[in-house]
Amino acid sequence: MTLRKLHKESLTAERATISHLLGEARGVNDIVGVMQFESRLAEIDRELNELASLNITRAAVAMYFGGPKVIGMHGIDADFASSVIGNFQDMVSKSFTAMEIGDIGSRGPVPFRAETNLMVTGVARGSFGFVLEELSDQSEAFATSLTVVVDNVASLIDEIATSDEDAFAERIASIDSRLISASKKLFGTLSNAEATMRLVEGDREVNLGRAEVERGRRRTEFLEIEENPGVILTGLLLGLLPQHRRFEFQLSSGEMISGAVASDASRAVNEQLIGQISNPIGKKWRAEFSVRTVARRGMPSRTYYTLIRLHSELSQ
| Per-residue b or e along 72-105, where b marks 16 or more CB atoms closer than 10 Å to that residue's CB | eeeebbeebbebbbebbbbbbbbbbbbeeeeebe
Q: pLDDT tier at 242 (50, 70, 90 boundaries)?
A: confident
How much of the chain, in percent, has pLDDT values that exceed 70?
Answer: 87
Q: In the predicted model, is pLDDT for residue 273 greater than 60?
A: no
CA atoms within 13 A on the CB side of 144: 18
Please tell me the distance from the alpha carbon of residue 67 to that of residue 196, in angstroms, as a whole number.
6
Q: What's the whole-number mean pLDDT along residues 179-202?
A: 93
**Residues across the chain:** 316
Q: At what angle do helices 177-192 and 210-221 cross, to 10 degrees?
A: 140
User: Looking at residue 110, what is its pLDDT?
Assistant: 47
Residue 49 has pLDDT above 90, yes or no: no
273: β partners: none
Between 79 and 55, name the one with better pLDDT: 79
Measured distance CA(176)–CA(152) in Å, rounded: 13
* Cα-based angle 236, 241, 244 (whole degrees, multiple of 5): 140
pLDDT at site 107: 46
Residue 153, pLDDT > 70, answer: yes
- Cβ neighbour number for residue 53 with a 10 Å cutoff: 6
Average pLDDT of the residues of the chain? 84
Q: Which one is predicted more confidently, 262 or 185?
A: 185
Nearest Cα neighbor of 311 from 199, 205, 235 is: 235
Q: Considering only the top CATH level, what class is 225-314?
A: mainly beta
For residue 18, pLDDT beyond 90: yes
pLDDT digits (tens, 9 = 90+) for 88-107: 999 999 888 877 655 544 44
133-142, 183-192, 250-259: segment of lowest average pLDDT: 133-142
Kind plus residue range of the DSSP H or E element containing 38: helix 31-52
Confirm if 144 and 59 have CB atoms less than 8 A apart. yes
What pLDDT does residue 311 have?
85
Phi-psi region of 230 (alpha: psi -120 to 50; beta: other; left: phi over 0): left
The type of residue at 105 is G
pLDDT tens column, 104-114 = 444 444 445 55
pTM score of the predicted model: 0.72
Q: For the chain, which residues make up each domain, given as ranges?
A: 4-52, 60-221, 225-314
Distance CA 51, CA 11 (A): 10
pLDDT per position as a tens digit, 230-241: 999 999 999 888
What is the Cα–Cα distance from 180 to 216, expressed in whole angstroms? 11
Q: Is 162 exposed, middle or buried (0-12, 13-18, 19+ CB in 10 A)?
A: middle
Residues in contact with 137: Cβ distance below 8 Å, sequence separation at least 6, in sequence order:
none
- Distance, C-alpha 89 to centroid of its chain: 12
Instruction: Provide the H-helix boundaries in 196-250.
Output: 210-221
